[in-house]
């Protein structure tokens, strides 16, 4: 049995040397899944509630609760709900809301089935962005046994008084479109759909830098989008707003290419976002994926887990220095090594064990922190595009190359930069309740991130957060090796 470090550093080196690249990629996926299952069982999940105010003597109970706290309640009642942002944790608290109908690449996992992912969002918000999150998986079934978007809308509206922002997650289409668009307009706090806006933001960031490397303009390149769910439709929409040429863009869903003759999409008003793209893109009504890929310079795939969804021959048919984003989770539509062998110049995936991780984790912690800091009423598309350029520019200053188009999650300052840039755009867009300067938001965010990390370090060093049993790592590693041999 190869030795594996608790840090999980050099994961490639723990598997047998005679593993092929395909075996290695599969083994890492199995290992990470099995270890996640075992360690979630070991810890009983990964989030807990910890007070941020101290107890310095018995009477402090009377300050934090009755009779003292009565003053807080009456102040909010009498002076307006704005006081709740400063007198409670509301100003730094995000609800991570899902009906678990499209969890990663696993589909409908039942309402509680999404808790692991939603806890993960809350975990990353705290560690990367310094803001608190609560996982809330809800039942969206109506009396007919159907998933009803109005149930989610009503649920979020009822939650508003307790939170500073809402992060929607893993809601299947077409319900996700109505839920987001309705709540963005009818709520007085930011409502953000991370599968749509979050994925759109970070993908645009990666594309900006990939195009910088190959010295091409976003308005001139031919792009193919494989998959037309919430993620790719929003990615397309943001790329259009950022200067993409709709005449050079072709999208594919499970039934074929999007264009003006797709009467099946036009006939269903729930898919209005897809129909907008049918009207804007693919004016030549290209139907065949092989024809679409011929000469294409960018492929952005968010369809279904691979690894054989995107074909090597598609990439071989692309234009010069092709850019391939294969971002399905948990397994990309084509593994990076296979895409490179087919001629891809830059390859990105959603995973951190490959170069160029284009993952929402680089977006939502900083974006939501920036929105919370100036008490924004919504996250506008302009704020999302600003965040994309913030992330891209941060990486560019460090020196981008074909294997580094995005910052990584351990580059702490990117989240503070992003929060400050987003906050300034919120003020510019007129959706912020508070005025602040860039440096103040940056310093505030960096302070909260460092506090979150120092708190975790203290809990780990004092064994309040215990390391997982080493046997769990060995067990997961053996499962991974057995799965590919």
Where are the alpha helices (H) located in 18-148, listed in sequence order?
Answer: 21-43, 60-64, 70-79, 84-87, 115-124
Q: Which candidate in 41, 43, 46, 121 is catalytic?
A: 121
H helices of 198-256, in order, are 199-214, 230-241
Is 365 exposed, middle or buried (CB count within 10 Å of its CB: 0-12, 13-18, 19+)?
Answer: buried
Catalytic annotation, pick one of 43, 65, 141, 470:
65
Contact 245, 211 (CB under 8 A): no
Nearest one of 417, 429, 427 to 392, comparing CA atoms: 417
65 noted as active-site residue: yes
Q: Collapsing DSSP states into helix, strand and coil, what is residue 357?
A: strand
| Look-up of token digits 């003597």 | 57
HEC letters along 134-178? EEEECCCECCCCCECHHHHHHHHHHHHHHCCEEEECCCCCCHHHH
Alpha carbons 310 and 307: distance in angstroms, whole number: 8
Q: Is position 41 annotated as part of the catalytic site?
A: no
Cα–Cα distance between 197 and 378 in angstroms, integer? 12
**3-state secondary structure (DSSP) of residue 38:** helix
Q: Which residues of 122-145 are buried (b: 16+ CB within 10 A; e: fewer)?
A: bbbbbbbbbbbbbbbbbebeeeee
Q: Which residues are catalytic?
A: 65, 121
């Amino acid at each position: 049995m190869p030795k594996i470090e608790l840090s999980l550093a050099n994961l490639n080196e723990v598997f047998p040397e005679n593993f092929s690249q395909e075996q290695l990629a599969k083994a890492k996926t199995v290992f990470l899944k099995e270890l996640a299952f075992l360690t979630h069982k070991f810890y009983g999940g990964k989030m807990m509630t910890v007070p941020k105010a101290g107890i310095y003597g018995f009477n402090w109970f009377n300050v934090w609760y009755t009779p003292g706290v009565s003053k807080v309640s009456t102040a909010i009642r009498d002076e307006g709900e704005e006081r709740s942002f400063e007198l409670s944790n509301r100003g730094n608290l995000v609800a991570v809301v899902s009906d678990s109908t499209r969890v990663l690449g696993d589909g409908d996992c039942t309402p509680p089935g999404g808790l692991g992912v939603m806890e993960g969002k809350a975990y990353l918000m705290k560690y990367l962005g310094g803001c608190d999150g609560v996982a809330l998986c809800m039942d969206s079934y109506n009396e007919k046994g159907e998933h009803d978007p109005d149930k989610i809308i009503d649920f979020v509206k009822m939650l508003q008084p307790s939170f500073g922002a809402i992060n929607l997650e893993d809601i299947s289409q077409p319900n996700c479109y109505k839920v987001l668009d309705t709540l963005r307009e009818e709520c007085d706090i930011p409502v953000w759909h991370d599968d749509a806006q979050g994925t759109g933001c970070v993908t645009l960031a990666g594309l900006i830098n990939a195009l910088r490397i190959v010295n091409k303009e976003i308005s001139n390149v031919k792009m193919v989008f494989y998959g037309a769910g919430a993620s790719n439709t929003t990615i397309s929409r943001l790329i259009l707003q950022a200067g993409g040429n709709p005449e050079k863009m072709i999208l594919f869903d499970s039934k074929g290419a999007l264009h003006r003759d797709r009467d099946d999409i036009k006939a269903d008003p729930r898919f209005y976002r897809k129909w907008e793209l049918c009207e804007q893109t693919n004016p030549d009504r290209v139907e065949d994926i092989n024809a679409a890929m011929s000469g294409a310079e960018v492929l952005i795939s968010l369809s279904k887990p691979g690894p054989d969804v995107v074909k090597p021959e598609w990439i071989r048919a692309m234009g010069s220095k092709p850019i391939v984003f294969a971002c399905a989770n948990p397994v990309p539509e084509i593994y990076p090594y296979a895409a490179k062998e087919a001629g891809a110049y830059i390859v990105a995936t959603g995973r951190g064990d490959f170069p160029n991780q284009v993952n929402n984790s680089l977006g939502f912690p900083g974006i939501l922190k920036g929105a919370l800091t100036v008490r924004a009423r919504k996250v506008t598309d302009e704020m999302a595009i600003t965040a994309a350029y913030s992330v891209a520019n941060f990486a560019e200053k460090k020196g981008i190359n074909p294997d580094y188009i995005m910052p990584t999650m351990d580059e702490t300052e990117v989240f503070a930069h992003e929060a400050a840039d987003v906050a300034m755009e919120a003020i510019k867009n007129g959706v912020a309740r508070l005025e602040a300067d860039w440096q103040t938001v940056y310093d505030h965010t960096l302070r909260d991130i460092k506090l979150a990390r120092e708190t975790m370090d203290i809990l780990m060093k004092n064994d309040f957060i215990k390391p997982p049993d080493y046997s769990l790592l060995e067990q997961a590693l053996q499962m991974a090796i057995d799965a590919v041999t």
